[in-house]
Amino acid sequence: MIERPAAALKELVENALDAGARRIAVVLEGGGIARIEVVDDGHGIAAADLPLAVQRHATSKLADETLVRIATLGFRGEALPSIGAAARLQLISRAEGEDSAHEIRVEGGLVSPLAPCAGARGTRAVVRDLFFATPARRKFLKHPRTEAEHAEAALRRLALAAPGVAIALEHDGRRLLDLPAQSRAERVAALLGPEAAGALLPVLAERGAMRLAGFAGSPALTRASAVAQGLVVNGRPVVDPVLRAAVRVAYREVIAPGRHPVVALFLDLPPESLDVNVHPAKSELRFQDPAAVRGLVIGALRAALAAPAGAAPRPLGIGGWHRPAARPAPVQGLVAQGLVVQGGGMQGLAESQLPLAAAPAARLVPAATPSPAHPLGAPLAQVLDTYIIALAADGALVLVDQHAAHERLTHEALRAQFHAGGVRAQPLLLPAVVDLPATEAARLLAQAASLARLGLEIESFGAGAVLVRALPAALGAPDPAPLLRDLADELAELGEAMALEARINAVLARLACHGSIRAGRRLAAGEMDALLRQMEATPRAATCSHGRPTFLKLSRADIERLFGRR
């Protein structure tokens, strides 16, 4: 049960939380292998109860196994004896109303007699020399640095679940965490850091007796792994595959493949609708109705993410550039912080790298007064024929990637039409003939009926040739040849077995890419304004269909901070 320092630390901190501690201080040495110390100011353990506390299956907590526990984190009475069997455990506690503290020690399972000692109200648990008696197990421990990381991660998960408790962590003399008692929102911001705090969208949804609250990171805020996902169910931090999968699905179309969103989600549901006994470490659950949980999480996250551009994200803590989809890139210097945009328009890079002499670097547009109703502001200029600079009524500066933004608008328009019964098709005056490798032509023609509902009408035109009769009207007049080649690629990626219906959205995204304003196209003032207004009215407009940001926003406060005025 205790396989590494992080596991022992988790049990000790859970006990402190169960004891109603307001403040918990953790000190680790040598990754926790040498020493773990947890001091709390909870209700303590009465002297007479100390020998019981270290006995197997002794618990002061309600241990009705048929009842699913929610009130306390522990309930099996196994942790302290397990730690005492694997290490040198020292427990010093003073219960409310007792005039002295008492100490008990367990080393390799041997319990020492109880002894009075000095100590404030609460409990101090010290674990030394983990696996000192079992060198074989000790060999499986990682480098102390790695063990310390695991321990810190475990403590962070508990800290998320208990924002009202002050929590500090020190490792080998270095302070790693120092969290005051906070509101949930403050704790989330403190744990995720300033970069994340500026890009969290509130989540709130109910379904029957279930309630989901918390924060969803904007698609900007992706990480290389899922460790930044905090999931708390009935006050218990969990690592649950059902919840993890739901988060993945909700973000699938707004972040790039292989990246992981940042979330802090708190699910509360009636205790009888889950079973926390499944996993001995209690971090896995079994939901009685996983489909309902999944639906709630996906629906709530999608609703949060569908907030129109500009309306969100609302900074929770320290602001900074709100980069709707930039990955946490190591940044240097203040200016770089906001101006690093990864990617750029998909096909746009080559075009936007045209020699500057070919186009003026920036073209100003006649000034319009920004309206407070327009969070993305009024356009001021087009830069490099690729980016729009706008000014909002509150003084925020907005930089828009015109191709990325338009691609999302087109994608959403196609999606809306599709769900309303079918994408509107524009018949071509002269049907176009496109030559393709025979397998690609066959792959497209096999899906002709489905493609027709996407506004793309094709038929066979002899070996390896496809006749295009109509294209989706929302795309304008794209060149049909690259569009068909791209679609054939998409279908190949999706696999023959996969029905097109199941992957309509991926196909719509491909189509959108072809019907969008390119980087490098000069826009009139009216076109820029129309683009910004449509972004404000369109769900998911903060990122393009590939998960890249469509705009960056620098608020007045951000500007003042960058110039050191604050």
Residue 126 vs 247, nearer CB to ligand ADP = 126
> Count of residues binding ligand ADP (CB under 6 A)?
21
Residue 112 vs 353, nearer CB to ligand ADP = 112
Which does residue 531 bind out of Mg ion, ligand ADP, none, counting CB within 5 to 8 angstroms by kind?
none
**Stretch of residues binding ligand ADP (CB under 6 A), selected from 52-60, 257-265, 291-299, 522-530:** 52-60
Q: Which of 6, 8, 9, 16 binds ligand ADP (CB under 6 A)?
A: 16
Select the residue whose beta carbon is closest to Mg ion and give its number: 74
Q: How far is the CB of 200 from ligand ADP (least distance, A)?
A: 32
**Helix H or strand E encompassing 231:** strand 229-233
| Residue 516 binding ligand ADP, by CB under 6 A | no
β 465-472/551-554 pair status: unpaired
Backbone phi, psi, residue 230, to 5°: -95, 120
| Residue 508 binding ligand ADP, by CB under 6 A | no
| Residue 32 binding Mg ion, by CB under 5 A | no
Q: Which of 2, 15, 155, 352 binds ligand ADP (CB under 6 A)?
A: 15
- Residues 472 and 432: their CA atoms lie apart, in Å, by 14
**Amino acid residing at 375:** P
Select the residue whose beta carbon is closest to ligand ADP and give its number: 74
Q: Which of 60, 273, 337, 347 binds ligand ADP (CB under 6 A)?
A: 60
| Residue 119 binding ligand ADP, by CB under 6 A | no
Residues 210-249 as b/e (b if ≥16 CB within 10 A, e otherwise) read bebbbbbbbbbbbbeeeebbbbbbbebbbbbebbbebbee
**Stretch of residues binding ligand ADP (CB under 6 A), selected from 40-48, 254-262, 346-354, 514-522:** 40-48
Query: Could you give the 3-state DSSP secondary structure of residue 321?
Result: coil
| Residue 51 binding ligand ADP, by CB under 6 A | no
Residue 169 vs 525, nearer CB to ligand ADP = 169
β partners of residue 383 = 362, 387
Determine contact, residues 50/129, Cβ cutoff 8 Å.
no
- Residues 259 and 331: their CA atoms lie apart, in Å, by 19
| Residue 79 binding Mg ion, by CB under 5 A | yes
| Residue 37 binding ligand ADP, by CB under 6 A | no
Q: Which of 433, 422, 391, 403 is nearest to 514 (CA)?
A: 403
- Residues 545 and 301: their CA atoms lie apart, in Å, by 17
Q: Which of 406, 377, 379, 410 is nearest to 392 (CA)?
A: 377
Residue 153 Cα to chain centre, angstroms: 16
- Residues 238 and 435: their CA atoms lie apart, in Å, by 54
Q: Which of 10, 35, 59, 104 binds ligand ADP (CB under 6 A)?
A: 59
- Residues 88 and 27: their CA atoms lie apart, in Å, by 16
Q: How many residues appear in the chain?
A: 566
| Residue 74 binding ligand ADP, by CB under 6 A | yes
Q: How far is the CB of 108 from ligand ADP (least distance, A)?
A: 17
| Residue 276 binding Mg ion, by CB under 5 A | no
Residue 47 vs 80, nearer CB to ligand ADP = 80
Residues 357-416 that bind ligand ADP (CB under 6 A): none
Tell me the two tokens of residue 244.
């993890």
| Residue 426 binding ligand ADP, by CB under 6 A | no
CB atoms within 10 A of CB 472: 27
Residue ranges binding ligand ADP (CB under 6 A): 11, 15-16, 19, 40, 42-45, 53, 59-61, 74-80, 123
Residues near Mg ion, by CB under 5 A: 15, 74, 79
